[in-house]
Amino acid sequence: MAKNLLIVESPAKAKTIEGYLGKDFTVKSSYGHIRDLVKSEDAIDIANNFKQTYEVPADKKQVVSELKKLAKEAETVWLASDEDREGEAISWHLFDTLNLKDANTKRIVFHEITKPAIMAAIENPRKINYNLVNAQQARRVLDRLVGFELSPVLWKKVKPSLSAGRVQSVAVRIIVEREREINKFQSEAAFKIVAIFGKGRQAFKAELAERYSKQEDAEKFLQDCIGADFTVNSLETRPTKRSPAAPFTTSTLQQEASRKLGYSVSRTMQIAQRLYESGHITYMRTDSVNLSETALASAANEITTAYGNQYYQQRKYKTKSAGAQEAHEAIRPTYFANHTIDGDGSEKRLYELIWKRAIASQMSEAQFEKTTAKIGISTRKEELTANGEVMKFDGFLKVYLESNDEEEDTPQDDSDNAILPPLSKGQRLELEEMSATERFSRPPARYTEASLVKKLEELGIGRPSTYAPTISTIQNRGYVVKEEREGKTRKFRVLTLKDANIAKEERTENTGAERGKLFPTDIGAVVNDFLVQHFKGIVDFNFTAKVEKQFDEIAAGLEEWTNMIGNFYKPFHADVENTMETADKATGIRELGIHPEKGEKVSVRIGRYGPFVQIGENASDDNKEYKPQYASLRNGQSIETITLDEALELFKLPKVVGEFEGKTMKVAIGRFGPYISHNSAFVSLPKGVDPLDVTEEQAIELIQEKRKKDAEKLIKAFDEDPTVKVLNGRFGPYIEFGKQNVKIPKDKDPKELTYEECKALADADSKAPKKGGKKFAKKKK
């Protein structure tokens, strides 16, 4: 048996370190935290100085018992969890749970997984830092108190099963507030003047700095330019340079993978996890931009051999994000010599991105020569400006160019990087064409998952390990949806001056179309407004930063954690009590106006099943017969922005469109779009068909088409029970047993199945314990 047991957080890390340490060391992993607060109310004893009750969760029992056994046998136990607040707490939980003894327990830390770093750590053991542990407990207790006291307020005042928390509620707030900024944004139009001088390869663009809000002014400008002389007034050339970005952290990796590869943040993390486990990259949950000495040396070697000395420039980066704890290195390839790896397509692409970014971070600047020409007009005092840029040395751009979030105004706006022909001061220029194009100011951009992560990181909210789960949570709770939305077409005017003649035309463009952007739902907006109204302090963008400062004081031994939590809890709990008793139920109700024919009030609000419109007052005690009319809002509509007319439209459906085989056909809109219902069968309407315009003939045709398609899918039907069928589905043949779908085992021929066999299979399926993730099994219940 090994003399030493060393415990780290991650099993992949354990494997690597075991290789460094030799046979005297057994290296094991705790798989993160091994204990957590119990789920129940008594997890924190408030009257007793916030004393916590912890438990080992079921899925950690095995790990803990194995570690316990090994610890008993070892001479020395080395606690090597990460060097940050959570890591220190993990060490303490291990110490406590495994019944370790001070005398033979050593706490060590390292922030890079290299042999020298580990050896140095072992030479310098210390004791558990209880101040740091206390800071973690304060963090944990605060989050539990906030989450488990706020959520029930929402259950009572908004809707059951909702949630609120220090991190998620601010994330939702960011999305809701941005949407409102966009809604109230007033776009302003102005004409932008662009001139083209010269012909063919010598042609280049010049722009006017001013924009004209009135068409007359733009037209006057073009008019003045007819027959005018254009002269190069000044010519300035200066060198510029661009430096590489720091190697990836979790947040920057998520952003760049989203922009360049189109991955969601959770997809990026899953792929990165695989790369980490197969030893291709360092740890992927990190807030550090630091590279180890060995990594720096190996990158230097790779760059000089692959590209030459002039491409190498050693750089050390400093983290900018506020709450960074820097327990790990930046994300980088384990071996810089591997430009590519084996793996599936997504793994290869992500690895390549990580490799390029890390290599580029140690390369020299790219150098440019930027030329600015000012062009005078004989008939006007304004000058046109032409910019050109020539790359003199590519430097790090040889391997990597970071992208950014900003979209271009128009496709032809790329004149910044253009190349100018040789020009000289005083030179006369030949105008080829000049245009005045109407352009519109743009509202702030909606957030993507990745840009939300960026924002959260800037605010110091959340941690590398929680960005992806937080984004999932706010979507799972229905506060936010990630969607595609169609844009609207918009007309814009273009004036073109060519050959002393001004042509006017109107063009159309599509604007406001979004893909993969985060939109708040009505419930998200109502919950947010409720929290902002009653718990301003908690959903304040600076709340986390404020408490982090106090956690730091606890970690430095300057403040008692129970004191800090006590000071926070007293007023917070009073707010909770007060809100529970006095606040109105939040429905986001909004009056839209009066129904033009009925003269009754029309309003929208959130109900048990989502947002809906109501015509008329609620039934009162004096008039129990009276019933208001209801209609659900459709996808993409919101109680905040819907108009009276749009609301009244909703009452035109469902609509009876005719009769077929003695049964009525109805058109309605369901969760998946418009459909026809007939004799308890459903047919989706094809795209582009307006549900209000469906005719009887069209409906019959669609029903018959659907029947034909279903018949093609049908493998076998049974006389015993018409609701039982064998069908060919997307995932292969299956049995439709009433409402239950059952997969057919591979060893059975679907054509040969008897009714009895189907029944048996369906029976077995409904009885079989649902395998798979606990989350899934729980949801089913």
Q: Which stretch binds DNA (CB under 7 A): 127-135, 366-374, 424-432, 668-676?
A: 668-676
Residues comprising the chain, all counted: 781
Q: How far is CA 761 from CA 245, 591, 726, 733, 750, in A?
A: 58, 54, 12, 13, 12
Report if residue 33 touches DNA, rule: CB under 7 A.
Answer: yes
Which C-beta is closer to DNA: that of 495 or that of 742? 742
Taking the least distance from each CB to DNA, the nearer of 632 and 638 is: 632
Own/partner pairs for 308-311, CB < 8 Å, 24+ apart?
Answer: 310/364, 310/393, 311/363, 311/364, 311/395, 311/396, 311/398
Residue 410 to residue 60: CA distance in whole angstroms: 55
Whole-number minimum distance, CB 382 to DNA, in Å? 53
Q: How far is the CB of 400 from DNA (least distance, A)?
A: 26
| Residue closer to DNA, measured from CB, 302 or 736 | 736
Among positions 379-418, residues that touch DNA (CB under 7 A) are: none
What backbone torsions phi and psi does residue 310 show, to the nearest 5 degrees? Answer: -65, -15
CB of 617 to DNA, least distance (A): 11
Nearer to DNA, 300 or 653 (CB): 653
Q: How far is the CB of 513 from DNA (least distance, A)?
A: 25
b/e per residue 252-261 (b: at least 16 CB within 10 A): bbbbbbbbee
The alpha carbon of residue 297 and the mean position of all alpha carbons in its chain are separated, in whole angstroms, by 35
The amino acid sitting at 657 is V
Smallest separation (angstroms) from DNA to the CB of 209: 46
Map the footprint of DNA across residues 290-309, applying CB under 7 A.
none
Tokens, residue 418: 């253009």
32 is a contact residue toward DNA (CB under 7 A)? yes
Q: Which of 212, 263, 276, 283 is catalytic?
A: 283
User: 101 vs 655, which CB is nearer to DNA?
Assistant: 655
Which range, of 154-162, 239-247, 293-301, 348-356, touches DNA by CB under 7 A? 154-162
* 106 forms part of the interface with DNA (CB under 7 A): no
- Nearest alpha-carbon partner for 87 in 294, 334, 286: 286
| Residue with Cβ nearer DNA (160 or 444) | 160
Site string for DNA, 310-329 (x = CB under 7 A): ---------------x----
Q: Which stretch binds DNA (CB under 7 A): 8-16, 123-131, 204-212, 231-239?
A: 8-16
Which is nearer to DNA, 32 or 125 (by Cβ)? 32
The amino acid occupying position 99 is N
Kindly state the smallest distance separating residue 40's Cβ from DNA, in Å: 7
Task: State in angstroms the smallest separation of the CB of 340 from DNA.
Answer: 23
Kindly tell me which of 57 and 443 has the beta carbon lying closer to DNA: 57
In the region spanning residues 157 to 176, those forming contacts with DNA, defined by CB under 7 A, are 160-169
Question: Per CB under 7 A, which region of 108-116, 311-319, 557-565, 612-620 contacts DNA?
Answer: 612-620
Q: Are 275 and 281 in contact (CB under 8 A)?
A: yes
Q: Give the one residue of 16, 52, 131, 151 binding DNA; rule: CB under 7 A.
A: 151
Nearest to 638 by CA among 164, 176, 187: 176
Rounded Cα distance between 319 and 460, Å, is 12
Regarding 31 and contact with DNA (CB under 7 A), the answer is yes
Nearest distance, CB of residue 677 and DNA, angstroms: 6
Q: Does 144 bind DNA (CB under 7 A)?
A: yes
Find the shortest distance in angstroms from Cβ 273 to DNA: 6
* β-strands 514-520, 590-594 pairing: unpaired
- Omega before 654 within 30 of 0, i.e. cis: yes
Output the smallest distance, CB 17 to DNA, in A.
Answer: 13
For 602, list phi and psi in degrees, rounded to 5.
Answer: -115, 125
* Residue located via tokens 């995932």: 731
Of 184-192, 254-262, 405-413, 602-610, the window that binds DNA (rule: CB under 7 A) is: 602-610
Contacts to DNA from residues 671-710, by CB under 7 A: 671-672, 675, 677, 680, 682, 684
Q: Which residues within the stretch 324-363 sit at the binding site for DNA (CB under 7 A)?
A: 325
**Residues 56, 337: Cα–Cα separation, whole Å:** 43
- DSSP 8-class letter at 221: H
Figure out which of the listed residues 1, 22, 23, 39 binds DNA, where binding follows CB under 7 A. 39
- CA 27 to CA 16: how far, in whole Å? 9
Q: How far is the CB of 411 from DNA (least distance, A)?
A: 38
The helix (run of H) or strand (run of E) holding residue 268 is helix 265-277
Nearer to DNA by Cβ, of 225 and 471: the residue is 471
Number of residues interacting with DNA: please give it, by CB under 7 A.
82
Task: Clarify whether 283 is annotated catalytic.
Answer: yes
Could you give the CA distance from residue 123 to residue 145 in angstroms, rounded to a whole number? 40
Output 325 or 364, the one with its CB closest to DNA: 325
Lookup: tokens for 606: 């959130």
Residues 6+ apart with CB under 8 A from 309: none
Complex with DNA: residue 10 or 437, whichever CB lies closer: 10
Backbone phi, psi, residue 493, to 5°: -100, 145
Give the span between the Cα atoms of 250 and 269, in whole angstroms: 8
Q: Please give the full DSSP string across 559-573, using - where no structure is assigned.
A: S-HHHHHHHHHHHHH
Q: Which of 28, 106, 139, 517 binds DNA (CB under 7 A)?
A: 139
- If one asks whether residue 722 binds DNA (CB under 7 A), the answer comes out as no
CA angle 214, 219, 222 (to 5 degrees): 135
Asked if 657 is part of the footprint of DNA (rule: CB under 7 A), the reply reads: no
Out of 45, 229, 277, 458, which residue is the one contacting DNA (CB under 7 A)?
277
User: In angstroms, what CA-CA distances link 553 with 85, 128, 557?
Assistant: 13, 17, 6
Question: Could you say whether residue 668 binds DNA (CB under 7 A)?
Answer: yes
By the rule CB under 7 A, 254 interacts with DNA: no
Separation of alpha carbons 521 and 529, rounded Å: 12
Which residue has tokens 């599936």?
A: 344
Does position 632 bind DNA by CB under 7 A? yes
Strands of 88-245 (E only): list them. Answer: 105-107, 189-197, 204-212, 230-242
Q: What pairs with residue 211 in β-bridges? A: 192
Instruction: Determine, following the binding rule CB under 7 A, whether residue 522 of this chain makes contact with DNA.
Output: no
626: contact with DNA by CB under 7 A? no
Q: What is the 3-state secondary structure (H, E, C) of 473-527?
A: HHHHCCCEEEEEECCEEEEEEEEEEECCEEEEEEEEEEECCEEEEEEECHHHHHH
What letter does residue 213 receive in the DSSP assignment? S
Of 176-184, 432-440, 481-489, 767-775, which part binds DNA (CB under 7 A)? 767-775
Helix-helix angle 265-277:449-458, to 10 degrees: 80
Binding to DNA in span 528-557, by CB under 7 A:
none
User: Is 23 or 624 the residue whose CB approaches DNA more closely?
Assistant: 624
Site for DNA in 436-495 (CB under 7 A): 462-466, 469-470, 473, 477
End-to-end CA distance of the chain: 46
For residues 726-755, which are near DNA according to CB under 7 A?
A: 731, 741, 743
What minimum distance in Å lies between the beta carbon of 172 and DNA?
10
Residue 205 or 455 with smaller CB distance to DNA? 455
Q: Applying CB under 7 A, does 285 fall inside the site for DNA? A: yes
Active-site positions read: 283
